Amino acid sequence: MPPAAATELSGAALRRTILQQSKRAGVGHIGSALSVADLVAALYGGVLNIPSPDHPDRDRFVLSKGHAVLAVYAALAIRGIIPVEQLDTYCGDGSLLGVHPEHVLPGIDFSTGSLGHGLSFGVGAALAARMQGSARRIFVLLSDAECNEGSVWESVMVANHHALANLIVMVDANGQQALGYTDDVLSLSPLDDRWRAFGWDVHVVDGHDIAGIAATIGRLDTTQGRPHVLIARTVFGKGVSYMERQIKWHYSPMSDAEYAQAMAEIEAGG
């Protein structure tokens, strides 16, 4: 895979594709994809070691909150793992680019879409890497509301027990879920203390500071010790003023006027 130019794989570039394709396909989940755009930009902009999409020792990435995968499709296109034109099949008939990721698509390591599954895949992948003596790392991106799922905490316990230092979780902590704010629906506050109580190495970061995210990950010891979690404080709908922190934008598609305003704000915000 050719190295991507830093200017190409920016949060703004991912947001541009997220908005374009959501508008073209007439579908929602826009706010969630915008929320993780900078985390995904950090991963595909240099954090993930992917010599090729099927290299056995590539870092693995599990997008456990599969409904935000449009941000990943955008990154895969910029990195040249999928053709840019393939983005235009998003949500189309016979497409591999659905609203949730399919592992059949090059660059997608694991299929997801049902919350609470991805971290268990990551635990097994991390155990496998250790057994194989590989230095590869396993990244799993969860949503904060996904931590409602009891299965997440099964995996949290097992990862800690087996000292899976090669496992790096990022929690997209935007404080929202489908029908409301997480503290109103099913509070997990303080989220960082809960992960700490389960024995993890916890880092609270600004989920929109790409350089800061990459720097934090770069300092982690992934060879021994505890598993790592970045509680990434994010803004749902980040970059589009009328979407930010608004529950409506978990599901709603954009009107023409809303689309024009959103694109203008992304271009202005860079």
Partner 1 sequence: MRGAFVRTLTALAADDPRIVLLTGDLGYMALEPFSERFPERFFNLGVAEQNMVGAATGMAEAGFVPFAYSIATFAALRPFEFIRNGPVWHRLPVRIVGCGGGFDYGPQGTSHHALEDLGVMRTLPGLTIVAPADHRQMATALAATWDVEGPVYYRIGKDDRTEVPGLDGRFRPGHAETVREGEDVLLLACGSITPEATKAADALAAGGVRAGVAVVASIQPAPVDDLVALLARVPVVLTVEAHVVSGGLGSLVAEIIAERGLGTRLVRCGVRTAPDGVSGSQAWMQAAHGLSAPALAETARAALDRRAG
Query: What residues make contact with partner 1 under the rule CB under 8 A?
Result: 56, 60, 103, 109-114, 116-117, 119-129, 131-132, 138, 150-151, 154-155, 157-158, 161-162
Q: CB of residue 88 vs partner 1: minimum separation in angstroms? A: 25
Q: How far apart are CA 65 and CA 112, in angstroms?
A: 7
Q: CB of residue 53 vs partner 1: minimum separation in angstroms? A: 13
Q: Which is nearer to partner 1, 60 or 250 (CB)?
A: 60
Q: Which is nearer to partner 1, 157 or 178 (CB)?
A: 157
Which sign, positive or negative, has the C-alpha torsion 81, 38, 141, 112? Answer: negative
Q: CB of residue 264 vs partner 1: minimum separation in angstroms? A: 39
Q: Is 126 helix (H, G, I), strand (E, B) or coil?
A: helix
Q: Is 176 helix (H, G, I), strand (E, B) or coil?
A: strand
Q: Which is nearer to partner 1, 22 or 64 (CB)?
A: 64
> Is omega for the bond preceding 190 within 30 degrees of 0, making it cis?
yes
SS3 breakdown of the chain: % helix, strand, coil, rounded to 5?
A: 45, 10, 45
Q: Which is nearer to partner 1, 161 or 248 (CB)?
A: 161
Q: How far apart are CA 80 and CA 62, in angstroms?
A: 19
User: Which amino acid does the sequence have at 211?
Assistant: A
Let me know: does 35 contact 235? Beta carbons within 8 Å: yes
Q: CB of residue 160 vs partner 1: minimum separation in angstroms? A: 11
Q: CB of residue 171 vs partner 1: minimum separation in angstroms? A: 17
Task: Tell me the two tokens of residue 211.
Answer: 């350089």
Q: Which is nearer to partner 1, 117 or 233 (CB)?
A: 117
